[in-house]
Chain A
């Protein structure tokens, strides 16, 4: 018996003495050595970085990851800079909910300490992407993979990095230009100053020009690679960036390369363009969704009430937007010769109005959306989508139509939307070109051609000839307003033109409220009133640059805050 016991105890000790018992491997990660010599892993790292490019659909993009605690609600990628939300800060779009509060005043340490606000503070997010890009570029130097392939991947990373710096520059002005991955071993090395804004834009210009040769042209891009950066995307982005930097000649030069390349054609159907799932010939760079692993939620948030009751109807066009669309004869509605009838406001208007806004009587999924209130609800109930019926109805009398995917069944969920986000398209490049050329040289024929091309696509007549530079600028402002509505441009445009204080400060947006006569329903009265529940906008002089986050200044006192804060 004793012997048996000793044997058991001894055996137990033996088994317990495995040498490397405490040496464990994490079972859920890939070791670093493997990544940069493996094609698929390098691409995977690149694709994760691509995710940081913001798209404008909504502030959260959900994925179907069943293992997360709230399946169906996990955030994929960084989209808290929803361009839509940004447009809600402008005069063209109103958001129905309490957020984003466009009456928010930007004070360092106050607004930025909350995270629910309009995604204006992308400092952290952009720098994370910049580090990822830097990491790719550095690590690929020693890779043993094919050099041409390596050059392309590195160039895509530089594309993303340039885009991030452009975004930082247009928000904050000058920022620290970090071109390599920083180490945290020596805290003193981290006290970097801000680089001047001209240097940041110059960096963007240099980068985008240098990488163009390593990226394929869209003509050579196989269909299976749709969604990756191309040579033309570099030029187009640079054209946009230099326009913001007011380097007009350079910007025009870049945009012209796209126009001259003949690789892109304006899509024939404005509304269909925005419902496409990708691959349209007008689009130069887009972000794709498949409604499954990567889906966005625009439809869930913007469908009109009768098609998506709760949480829908979040983005509402304003009366200010609707009044901007010209008549089909090319005249603005304020012109007495235009033929505009306030009692029949939607007749004979620029076709982009019907393609962008669901006004009373406009079709959605083949059926009209009706928003009339009733003069006597006890006799005749109001229309299903009339303003103010519930907290989920419109507050401006309009619903959004542009971007909505009418092929989805009613009641769409988070994360099911598939429409791609068209980040750069030919129409924008034409507008960028026209503006840059107009500023650099004046309204020459090429400027007219660019604008007229866009107008012709929507059935509007050409611009009148003989415009001077200021008049042409006004025309370009007008065209951008209606062509690029809801694509995230209006807010940035108003800022860079220094028009934001005049257009926004102290203003409230309006809506159109239609009432039908309970005894004679075809008799409609139209009334323009302030939109319900919308605060007065605030835009002060010093908002043209955003404040550097106060926490950053606390950590790095060498960062100097922007004036006025």
Chain B
């Protein structure tokens, strides 16, 4: 796969290879070996994505991007001009060097499966797997000549964009060794069928890093560390190790595919927790009843499937970013210069939590599956309730800063999630035409039951009892239209509103004390996670043609879309033309200012919260396939398929001009169109 990026340099290439071999050594013994490898290479600009897009967006359009050829300094072939702010966007993206990354993956699994001879249905399985990921990264940073040229003033100066050439190389190795061994049982006696599983698993993970740095290269022709200067050369290395062990058991019983029952349990141990808190036990049960198979339901002709199910399950999580919270210690930190020697410093890792242990999530799920009219209509409906306990969070919100310590994560948090999911399908066939349409809706919301909060937190800002990613801030009441309104309003800027002018945002005085301050902040509503997600998938097949269309959408959430006003002489978004000024009082944006928005207009408030509702045409694919063709069969080809598809081609959203799925200043979500050819031998 080779995918180019949005600018000339960004690039992604990937190669895959895979081989699965199974050998029967005897009637009862199978050996299998799976190996797959992957290599991917990315090339990217050396400049941070964020900074790149900022440079692009603030570029002043009245300043040319290149200096006219005749005016360039001798030796400056590119003539890159500053963009009115600080650097040349082209220079930063393409001519500043590159970051080249390469990942090599190896995944291998070697195992035995032995059917135990005397007990029918019982088999033993052993698997060893070894996965390795080897990453190389090279950051090569070179200067380009940055010119300061305007048509009025001419070429005022020409400087290198930075003073030295630097090279940073890094090698990371990650490997994962897993062992799995257990017994599998499956057997049917008449209408009864039983399956069981007993498994032991352990996995070991290791990470190693080595990196080197040099600068002040003599030229830019040799891009290797040896060509750099000894001055300021630097290197770094580190390692980490993780381990987990689990015992898993499961048993399932099925009578005539009518009554189903399953129970499972697992015991997991993690390196992340101290000995006495290392293991967690998690259990789950589920029951199913296919009512449609009951005798009293047999008369209902159109109903071919109706199943009720209930399940209860627990999961554990030990995945916290930093490990070993239960141990005190020191790690290398910022140092200090004494005389002319730099001494490395050490810093303690924070107060340890000697009782840290697993987070547990418990889910209760009720579901109905149904099928009508011989499979024409089918669907599922699920309702779930989940409580996650012992969530690892620190008490930073409740412990005063004058304690001065880095706080450990503690198993304090409790969050509830609940919601439902519905899928409906209609499928039919008329001669050579067959079609299927499926719609799905998922609704999920959350509530924080317990978390660390400051004692003095007021009801309006309380996070406990509200959805997980709720928003808090000032409530905006629109824009001030006249000076009289400003004079009559509560004091927003601590200075008798002297700095507030018509066109500025007006805020709600929640506690009616005629001052807008922290006591007027409150809960503003839903956060960034959509509560409602829905989609429609349609598939039509006629003879050799097939068309697939997929829509996706989300709703019941908000995006915070704050747009800053001009900064210095920079450019900004064209939507800001709809800013308040005399003659445009009914504007969407507050009045513009020369140096970024005033503190009043940049407060976190409901003014900038927008409904994130969208519907997107996520995928559309049209393909034509040829099978059973005599010419192709002679060559050994079973099937050939040609397809054309597009991703993210069309969007409806409440807020024009911004992709509701994107975040500000990131690589935009791409629209892609591709053509494919698939050949099966």
In addition to A31-B328, A44-B344, A110-B599, 19 A-B residue pairs with Cβ atoms within 8 Å of each other are: A12-B128, A25-B241, A26-B329, A29-B329, A31-B327, A47-B335, A51-B336, A64-B215, A67-B170, A71-B168, A131-B404, A182-B404, A191-B455, A384-B157, A389-B153, A390-B84, A390-B569, A416-B163, A533-B595
Contact B400 A64 (CB under 8 A): no
Query: How distant is the Cα of A473 from the Cα of B238 in the complex, in angstroms?
Result: 59
By a beta-carbon cutoff of 8 Å, the part of chain B in contact with chain A is 25-26, 29, 48, 82, 84-87, 112, 114, 124, 126, 128, 139, 146, 148, 150, 152-154, 156-157, 159-164, 166, 168, 170, 179, 181, 200, 202, 204, 209, 211-213, 215, 232, 234-236, 238-245, 269-271, 275, 278, 323-324, 327-349, 351, 395, 397-405, 407, 454-457, 493-495, 498-499, 517-519, 521, 567-570, 594-596, 599, 602-604
Stretch in A260-268, A329-337, A407-415 touching the partner = A407-415
Please tell me if A461 contacts chain B, counting CB pairs below 8 Å. no
Residues of B within 8 A of A540 (CB): 494-495
B139 to chain A, nearest CB (A): 7
| 28 residue pairs from A and B, CB less than 8 Å apart | A5-B29, A12-B181, A16-B179, A24-B243, A27-B241, A30-B329, A30-B346, A32-B348, A65-B234, A66-B168, A66-B170, A67-B170, A71-B166, A98-B595, A109-B518, A191-B455, A192-B400, A227-B337, A294-B337, A305-B157, A309-B157, A381-B156, A411-B160, A411-B163, A413-B162, A538-B495, A551-B454, A556-B402
B148 to chain A, nearest CB (A): 6
Contact B234 A66 (CB under 8 A): yes
Contact B517 A66 (CB under 8 A): no
The listed residue (B86, B161, B163, B243) touching A409 by CB distance below 8 A is B163
Residues of A within 8 A of B235 (CB): 66
A69 to chain B, nearest CB (A): 8
Chain B CB within 10 A, most for which of A187, A377, A555: A555
Residues of B within 8 A of A391 (CB): 84-85, 568-570
Contact A32 B236 (CB under 8 A): no
Please tell me if A325 contacts chain B, counting CB pairs below 8 Å. no
Query: How distant is the Cα of A543 from the Cα of B527 in the complex, in angstroms?
Result: 36
Contact B599 A111 (CB under 8 A): yes
Contact A557 B146 (CB under 8 A): no
Interface size grouping (class) on chain A: 35 or more
Chain A CB within 10 A, most for which of B327, B337, B347: B337
List A residues 44-83 near B (Cβ within 8 Å): 44-45, 47-51, 63-67, 70-72, 76-77
Residues of B within 8 A of A290 (CB): 337, 340, 342
Residues of A within 8 A of B347 (CB): 45, 48, 132
B114 to chain A, nearest CB (A): 6
Please tell me if A339 contacts chain B, counting CB pairs below 8 Å. no
Query: How distant is the Cα of A183 from the Cα of B328 in the complex, in angstroms?
Result: 14
Please tell me if A216 contacts chain B, counting CB pairs below 8 Å. no
Please tell me if A476 contacts chain B, counting CB pairs below 8 Å. no
Contact A22 B407 (CB under 8 A): no
Stretch in A85-93, A218-226, A345-353, A486-494 touching the partner = A218-226
Residues of A within 8 A of B179 (CB): 12, 15-16
Residues of A within 8 A of B332 (CB): 28
Contact A22 B269 (CB under 8 A): yes
Contact A51 B345 (CB under 8 A): yes
Contact B399 A555 (CB under 8 A): yes
Minimum-distance CB pairs A-B, first 7: A109-B518, A48-B345, A131-B404, A66-B213, A47-B336, A554-B454, A310-B86
Please tell me if A213 contacts chain B, counting CB pairs below 8 Å. no
Residues of B within 8 A of A465 (CB): none
Chain B CB within 10 A, most for which of A13, A109, A309, A533: A309
Interface string of A173-193 (1 = CB under 8 A from B): 001101001111001001110
Chain B residue at smallest Cβ distance from A224: B339
Contact B398 A105 (CB under 8 A): no
Residues of B within 8 A of A416 (CB): 163
Interface of A is mostly: loop
Contact B124 A9 (CB under 8 A): yes
Interface string of A11-43 (1 = CB under 8 A from B): 011011000011111111111100100000101
Please tell me if A104 contacts chain B, counting CB pairs below 8 Å. yes
Stretch in A121-129, A236-244, A440-448, A518-526 touching the partner = A121-129
Chain A residue at smallest Cβ distance from B164: A413
B166 to chain A, nearest CB (A): 7
Residues of A within 8 A of B85 (CB): 310, 391
The listed residue (B346, B407, B494) touching A44 by CB distance below 8 A is B346
Residues of B within 8 A of A21 (CB): 202, 204, 243, 245
Contact B403 A127 (CB under 8 A): yes
Contact A190 B595 (CB under 8 A): no
Please tell me if A103 contacts chain B, counting CB pairs below 8 Å. yes
Query: How distant is the Cα of A278 from the Cα of B342 in the complex, in angstroms?
Result: 14
B206 to chain A, nearest CB (A): 9
Contact A104 B48 (CB under 8 A): no
Contact A228 B338 (CB under 8 A): yes
Contact A71 B213 (CB under 8 A): yes
Residues of B within 8 A of A5 (CB): 29, 112, 114
Please tell me if A292 contacts chain B, counting CB pairs below 8 Å. yes
Residues of B within 8 A of A111 (CB): 599
Are A109 and B240 CB-contacts (below 8 A) given A71-B213, A225-B338?
Answer: no
Contact A108 B345 (CB under 8 A): no
The listed residue (A22, A72, A293, A392) touching B86 by CB distance below 8 A is A392
Chain A residue at smallest Cβ distance from B457: A554
Residues of B within 8 A of A106 (CB): 494
Are A227 and B338 CB-contacts (below 8 A) given A16-B202, A48-B333, A305-B157?
Answer: yes
Chain B residue at smallest Cβ distance from A222: B339
Please tell me if A135 contacts chain B, counting CB pairs below 8 Å. yes
Query: How distant is the Cα of A16 from the Cα of B200 in the complex, in angstroms?
Result: 10
Query: How distant is the Cα of A382 from the Cα of B345 in the complex, in angstroms?
Result: 50
Please tell me if A553 contacts chain B, counting CB pairs below 8 Å. yes
Contact A377 B329 (CB under 8 A): no
Query: How distant is the Cα of A22 from the Cα of B234 in the complex, in angstroms?
Result: 34
Contact B342 A292 (CB under 8 A): yes
Are A127 and B404 CB-contacts (below 8 A) given A27-B238, A107-B518, A391-B568?
Answer: yes
Contact B499 A103 (CB under 8 A): yes
Are A533 and B337 CB-contacts (below 8 A) given A64-B213, A65-B234, A190-B399?
Answer: no
Please tell me if A140 contacts chain B, counting CB pairs below 8 Å. no
Query: How distant is the Cα of A392 from the Cα of B569 in the complex, in angstroms?
Result: 9
B651 to chain A, nearest CB (A): 32
Query: How distant is the Cα of A178 from the Cα of B278 in the complex, in angstroms?
Result: 36
Residues of A within 8 A of B348 (CB): 32, 45, 135
Residues of A within 8 A of B339 (CB): 223-227, 278, 288
Contact B153 A1 (CB under 8 A): no
Please tell me if A387 contacts chain B, counting CB pairs below 8 Å. no
Chain A residue at smallest Cβ distance from B241: A24
Contact A309 B146 (CB under 8 A): yes
Contact B200 A310 (CB under 8 A): no
Please tell me if A327 contacts chain B, counting CB pairs below 8 Å. no
Residues of B within 8 A of A553 (CB): 456
Please tell me if A422 contacts chain B, counting CB pairs below 8 Å. no
Please tell me if A308 contacts chain B, counting CB pairs below 8 Å. yes
Query: How distant is the Cα of A557 from the Cα of B399 in the complex, in angstroms?
Result: 12
Chain B residue at smallest Cβ distance from A223: B339
Interface string of A402-439 (1 = CB under 8 A from B): 00000001111100100000000000000000000000
Query: How distant is the Cα of A401 from the Cα of B405 in the complex, in angstroms?
Result: 40
Query: How distant is the Cα of A293 from the Cα of B87 in the complex, in angstroms?
Result: 26
Residues of A within 8 A of B454 (CB): 551, 554-555
Contact A184 B399 (CB under 8 A): yes
Residues of A within 8 A of B161 (CB): 310, 411
Residues of B within 8 A of A71 (CB): 139, 166, 168, 213
Query: How distant is the Cα of A29 from the Cα of B241 in the complex, in angstroms?
Result: 13
